[in-house]
Amino acid sequence: MAQGQNLNADQLFEKINAAKDSKSLLKKHLTPEIFAATKDKVSKFKGTLADCIRSGCMNPDSGVGIYASDPDAYTTFAAVLDPVIKDYHNVTELNHPKPDFGDTSKLDFGDLDPSGDMIVSTRVRVGRSHASYGFPPVLTLEDRVEMEKNTVKCLAKLTGDLKGEYCPLTGMTKEKQAELTADHFLFNDSDRFLREAGGYNDWPTGRGIYFATNKKFLVWVNEEDHLRFISMQMGGNLGEVYTRLVKAIKELETSGLEFAKKDNLGYLTFCPSNLGTTLRASVHIKIPKLAADPEFKKFCDGLHIQARGIHGEHTESVGGVYDISNKRRLGLTEIEAVQEMRRGVEAVIKREKELSGK
């Protein structure tokens, strides 16, 4: 249960104001004027400012510190969300382009590491939200169950290699859960930021994971977002991974699901850090030399890529293996985001080889 559940917007605002060393974007952009102008607004899905800021106020060490209570929050609470979005995504204007996945039959990239020495695995994911449901703070148990049911019905329409089966978390054995987590397939309920935002309400009801039979395409249902589509495989073949994801997105778009979108913001997600393309393309890559270099972070920043540990966000690296991904998701098209990641990974490989004297 979220600890700040019973606090109202004034009490939450007081908390974040008292947290003098908070560096969150929420703290920076929720000025007293903007607070006063938004605190009594209610979105179409009955979302409130308190729903949006609860996590960030209760966790002053947040980086972002705000979630959208529902798709309409991006309109109702734009006075605070817009500046956070601009700041996080490092853009001066909100003019996200129309989706463009490129022509996957003519990609100019394939395997980024044909030697197979450095890239362990490759993954590309996007987030999608149902246009007709709010996000975790405003969802009821019944909503979650209904959403899951509608989703599963549409997932069953996937064709060819994307065909598979849905495994609800409810009723899944502990052993099965542990196994799927170790294989990087499954999510859990351990993120305190998400918990405080209501992300684990009614856990595990309504959550689950869809696997294509070959395990190279997955859908997370009601993790942080209503939907996360994930294409992944061992090795460095970004071309194959991306092509599979685009096929899945196109099939699911016409399967009866309607996704939440907004002009100039792209696809809407629970966290403003993910909206736009919502696309994160990543590799798990062995880079012991570069990772030990004091310039590592600066090197990544310069290429618009981000390094994380391999067990997800806020985790540490294990054995010099890092998760490298595109940092930008807004203000560029899907194919541009993937190309940015590709160029970054190529530069990382080149640099690691130089540092190893190869």
Residue 350, burial from CB neighbour count under 10 angstroms (0-12, 13-18, 19+) = exposed
Q: Quick check: 35 and 29 in contact, CB under 8 A?
A: no
Size of interface with ligand ARG, in residues (CB under 6 A): 11
Cα 174 from Cα 154, distance rounded (Å): 28
Cα 68 from Cα 52, distance rounded (Å): 5
The contact mask relative to ligand ARG for 177-196 (x = CB under 6 A, - = no) is: ----------------x---
* Comparison of 274 and 326: residue with beta carbon closer to ligand ARG: 274
Q: Does 83 contact ligand ARG by CB under 6 A?
A: no
Cα 304 from Cα 325, distance rounded (Å): 9
Q: Which of residues 28-57 bind ligand ARG (CB under 6 A)?
A: 55
Contacting residue, 34, 63, 79, 202, with ligand ARG by CB under 6 A: 63
Q: Quick check: 248 and 158 in contact, CB under 8 A?
A: yes
* Comparison of 38 and 273: residue with beta carbon closer to ligand ARG: 273
Contacting residue, 22, 43, 48, 62, with ligand ARG by CB under 6 A: 62
* Comparison of 29 and 244: residue with beta carbon closer to ligand ARG: 29
Q: Where are the alpha helices (DSSP H) in the chain?
A: 9-18, 25-29, 32-38, 49-58, 73-76, 78-89, 141-155, 174-182, 192-196, 238-253, 288-292, 296-302, 334-355
* Comparison of 85 and 112: residue with beta carbon closer to ligand ARG: 85
* Comparison of 269 and 339: residue with beta carbon closer to ligand ARG: 269
Tell me the window of 9-17, 58-66, 164-172, 212-220 that interacts with ligand ARG (CB under 6 A): 58-66
Contacting residue, 219, 271, 283, 332, with ligand ARG by CB under 6 A: 271
Tell me the window of 46-54, 62-70, 201-209, 279-287 that interacts with ligand ARG (CB under 6 A): 62-70
Q: Quick check: 168 and 155 in contact, CB under 8 A?
A: no
- Please tell me whether residue 40 adopts helix, strand or coil conformation: coil
- Identify which of 218, 210, 194, 206 has the alpha carbon closest to the alpha carbon of residue 126: 218
Contact residues for ligand ARG, defined by CB under 6 A: 55, 62-65, 193, 224, 271, 273-274, 313
